[in-house]
Structure 1
Amino acid sequence: MVTKLYPTLDGKVAVLTGAARGIGKAVADALIENNCKVVIGDILEKEGQEVVDAYNEKAGSKVAAFIRTDVTKYSDNIALFKLAETEFGGVDIALMNAGIATGADSMFTPLDGNLELILKKEMAQIIYHLSYNTDATDDRIIDINTTAVIKGTKVALLHMAKRGGGSIVLMASMAGLYCAPNLSSYNASKHAVVGYTRSFQLMPSICNVRVNALCPFWIDTELAAHIRNSDYEKASHAKVISRSRYATMECLVEGFMTLTTDESRNTQTLKVLPDGLEIEPSSVAPDSFSGNADRETLAEFFPAAVAAGKRALAEALARYEQQQ
């Protein structure tokens, strides 16, 4: 994929989760083409190491590193960002991309596990039933798609604050803005990412870090291919998805680069659509949230909140340094 060049990225260091393949790898490819150093964290060890080895071989020097990363664990997120510091001196850019769709349709799935029932099914159906048959499945989609994004972002903030600033892009989805009826838990997990993204209004003033989200429509990845190949009687949405127009990977990469390089962008949710990129406007609070009598108080809030944020950041950095 031919990538537009962004001179301001030259020499920057990026950390990416879930970048052994698919969307994450496409973004990593573009960053490498723009003379960035990249550090990839993924549970796919073989694939991730192969990607990094290929980057280093082509460059003739060390421009990439890999570490196995379970994004649900603070310890793994810390190790990932510390590797970037050790290998390349710090972190300027982060993409929180790791995610799953297993357990997306959870409205009427079983309330407990029943392995005996699963094992009686034909082998071709075992994966389907395993996906919807344990407490762990309901927990895991939120753990990976939402809680892990929060954990990774918290670690990224500390490393970027030490660096003097940076840009974090969170991978949300169009399902974080609109709801498909067959993707209830997935919808919930991605709506949470959008809400989290919109909570960082003050962060540029606190530590010069910007946080934005990408919300792609369907893109031709392994996930989309798996859904297209689903049994339409069991997954009625699969036919709709298989016949939809897809957004392109090139458009998604452009969206990531736009959010990363345009320093005016913060707390934006950028939609990646078949027709191109489009910003989703944030909701405007009703007037009843604050009357005219509160305007002075609200004007005082923001500088006070920034000052409090800077104190909290200093305390968090001190704790972090002591724990390492």
Structure 2
Amino acid sequence: MSHWQGKTVVITGAGSGIGRGIALALARQQARLIVTDIDLDAVKATAKDCGGSAEALPLDVRDAAAVSRCCADVVKRHGRLDFMFNNAGLGIAGEVHEIPLVSWDRIIDVNIRGVVHGIHAAYPIMVKQGSGHIINTASLAGLGSVPLFAPYAMTKHAIVGLTRSLRLEAEVHGVRVSALCPAAIETPLLDKTEISGLPSMAWMPDARRFLTRLGGPPYPLDRFVIETLAAIEKNEELIIVPGRARIAQRLGQYIPGALTRIIRKVLAEERAQRPYSNPSGRQDG
């Protein structure tokens, strides 16, 4: 048997991107999948592509009661919950002084409270059964400075801190906790410029261009998933993918000044693409 065969797995945000990629890979390993997303049509497509080994459910992770009902129902029908992927998330970028408060509220509700709701629903179940693994999707942005992506980086720093703290607390109960901290991965999130229900931004950086300049081209999703699942099987705390992301993380630890100079240069290059000059009148770098 593989590490995943016959295991009951819940994945939030499985309609696209990382969540969808993980679901497809686990379907091939014969896991029992419950894939969820706020976009029901998208997650139904994921379930269909899993070849009948996945059940699709609509789920807004901002709704704590709905997340709790989802996990409780999984246990009622399948007897246990082995893996909880708190993956649903969104990205908001721009100059901080131009980001409306409603956008800050939305990203906090999805990226932080959504993960808290998943933990609150799944962790007591896993404590009771004496086993389980919670995987929270953070980001390399949760381990360093990413100007123009401050709201996103803020939420991912929170997820890293939550994961590392809970991991130590959960050991005595036989529960594992890990955080995914990828660099840019080739997913639709890189090219998304509008978020439903939120006002348009005065200006947004080109996420694909900015992150490519900062850390290299987006990593293929299929390779990311292979490396990520292997790291989960090894119970790694912070899963930093690809290898060049680990180099960047160590550079920030041991030679922070060098990394800061690189970030300032890329920031200046991205701001130069704005249709009008920096409102502050200052030059970066």
- Superposition TM-score, scaled by structure 2 size: 0.76
Asked if the contact 1:172–1:216 (Cα under 8 Å) also holds between the matched residues in 2, the reply is yes
Match of 1:240 in 2: 210
Provide, for residues 92-117 of structure 1, a one-character-per-residue CA deviation record: whole Å limited to 9, x for no partner: 01111100113x335112xxxxxxxx
Asked if the contact 1:16–1:96 (Cα under 8 Å) also holds between the matched residues in 2, the reply is yes
- Matched residues in 1 for 2:233 and 2:217: separation? 28
- 1:27 aligns to 2:16 (yes or no): no
Match of 1:7 in 2: 2
Asked if the contact 1:8–1:261 (Cα under 8 Å) also holds between the matched residues in 2, the reply is yes
**Secondary structure of 1:9 counterpart:** coil
230, 233, 236: which is aligned to 1:261? 233
Q: Which amino acid aligns with 1:204?
A: E
117, 120, 134: which is aligned to 1:154? 120
1:132-281 superposed matches below 5 A: 132-133=99-100, 135-200=101-166, 201-205=168-172, 207-226=173-192, 234-236=203-205, 238=207, 239-241=209-211, 244-263=216-235, 265=236, 268-273=237-242, 275=244
Provide, for residues 180-209 of structure 1, a one-character-per-residue CA deviation record: whole Å limited to 9, x for no partner: 11011111111000111110213121x211
33, 38, 41: which is aligned to 2:36? 41
**1:167 offset after TM fit, Å?**
0.8
Greater alpha carbon shift after TM alignment, 83-92 vs 12-21: 83-92
**1:159 offset after TM fit, Å?**
1.8
Asked if the contact 1:72–1:147 (Cα under 8 Å) also holds between the matched residues in 2, the reply is yes
Asked if the contact 1:174–1:271 (Cα under 8 Å) also holds between the matched residues in 2, the reply is yes
- Residues 79 and 106 of structure 1: is their aligned pair in 2 closer, same or farther, counting only changes over 3 Å? farther
Could you list the runs of 5+ residues in structure 2 that have no partner in the other structure? 194-201, 254-285
**1:251 offset after TM fit, Å?**
3.4
- Matched residues in 2 for 1:273 and 1:22: separation? 16
1:311-322 superposed matches below 5 A: none
- Matched residues in 2 for 1:163 and 1:255: separation? 28
Provide, for residues 5-34 of structure 1, a one-character-per-residue CA deviation record: whole Å limited to 9, x for no partner: x71221111000000111101001111111
**Secondary structure of 2:3 counterpart:** helix
**Secondary structure of 1:212 counterpart:** strand
- Percent same amino acid among aligned pairs? 28
Q: Which amino acid aligns with 2:78?
A: F
- Matched residues in 2 for 1:248 and 1:179: separation? 23
Match of 2:79 in 1: 89
1:295-314 superposed matches below 5 A: none
- Residues 38 and 277 of structure 1: is their aligned pair in 2 closer, same or farther, counting only changes over 3 Å? farther
Asked if the contact 1:251–1:277 (Cα under 8 Å) also holds between the matched residues in 2, the reply is no
Indicate the RMSD between aligned Cα atoms, in angstroms: 2.5
> Which is higher, the Rg of structure 1 or of structure 2?
1
Q: Which amino acid aligns with 1:98?
A: A
**1:162 offset after TM fit, Å?**
2.9
- Matched residues in 2 for 1:105 and 1:192: separation? 20
- Residues 226 and 53 of structure 1: is their aligned pair in 2 closer, same or farther, counting only changes over 3 Å? closer
- Matched residues in 2 for 1:278 and 1:164: separation? 36
Asked if the contact 1:92–1:165 (Cα under 8 Å) also holds between the matched residues in 2, the reply is yes
Match of 2:90 in 1: 100
- Residues 33 and 137 of structure 1: is their aligned pair in 2 closer, same or farther, counting only changes over 3 Å? same
